[in-house]
Amino acid sequence: MHPRVKICCIKAPDEAAMAIAHGASAIGLVSAMPSGPGVISEKTIARIAATVPPPIATFLLTSERTAEAIINQQRQCRTNTLQLCDYVAAEVYPQLRAELPGIAIVQVVHVTGPEAVDYAVAVAGHVDALLLDSGNPALAVKELGGTGRTHDWALSRRIRDSGGIPVFLAGGLNPGNVAEASRRKLDEVWCLPALVMLAFIRHELEAGLLGCL
């Protein structure tokens, strides 16, 4: 079974349509971040999300950390999935569940070292999926995604094997390394930037890599 594909950093309805036409199961819409590419306004996120048919998942990538701010942002953007790019307090999750019924929650785990495995196991019971990325929220200017770097995939495999919930693999994926990620059976979903999606299409690899539903 091939992994499914999530295309991130979508900036316009036509990009979303292109991703879906080539087999993407989900699209990522990036709201305000402390660093990194792909940021669009909440108004634009809402406009794109409204064009996406079910059952495609629309991910709101948020750097907010309080329940109130995340809830308000989702109600503005109207996506069906929250991607929490920064770490939040444990009490935030039940507040999101109570106020946003039916909205899926995906927690990003920044795989900076072995401690990421413990964090992933601890948080797995609160969310619908984990997304393993290569940022670093401990920096003075936080990196919450879009670094273009891979991380230690041995740690990713440990998280995948211990979490008990779906896992997205992100961070530095490109036409040159997704075959290795697939060989290692690291994930259920690849998370690819929109520019990488275009590279796949340009090299006529979409039938094997994007058309995988």
Task: State the pLDDT at residue 201.
Answer: 43
Q: Which amino acid is at 37?
A: P
| pLDDT of 204 | 38
pLDDT at 2: 57
Residue 149 to residues 110, 132, 134, 146, Cα–Cα distance (Å): 11, 12, 6, 8
Residue 58 bridge partners (DSSP): 27
pLDDT the model gives residue 160: 87
Condensed to tens digits (0 to 9), the pLDDT of residues 121-154 reads: 999 999 999 999 999 999 999 999 989 898 998 9
Contacts of 157 (CB under 8 A, 6+ apart): 184, 185, 186
pLDDT of residue 48: 98
What gap in Å lies between CA 191 and CA 134, rounded to an integer? 12
Task: Report the pLDDT value the prediction gives residue 23, as an integer from 0 to 100.
Answer: 84
- Tokens 């211990």 belong to 162
Length of the chain: 213
CATH architecture of 4-209: Alpha-Beta Barrel (3.20)
By CB atoms closer than 10 A (0-12, 13-18, 19+), residue 121 is middle
Amino acid (one-letter) located at 53 = P
Residue with tokens 């539903």, as numbered in its chain:
213
**How buried is residue 68: exposed, middle or buried, by Cβ count under 10 Å (0-12/13-18/19+)?**
exposed
Question: Could you count the other beta carbons within 10 Å of the beta carbon of residue 149?
Answer: 12
pLDDT of residue 44: 98
pLDDT score for 162: 85
pLDDT at 202 (0 to 100) = 42
pLDDT at 213: 34
Low-confidence ranges of the chain (pLDDT < 50): 1, 189, 195-196, 198-213
- Give the pLDDT confidence score for residue 117 in this predicted structure: 95
CA distance 84 to 156: 18
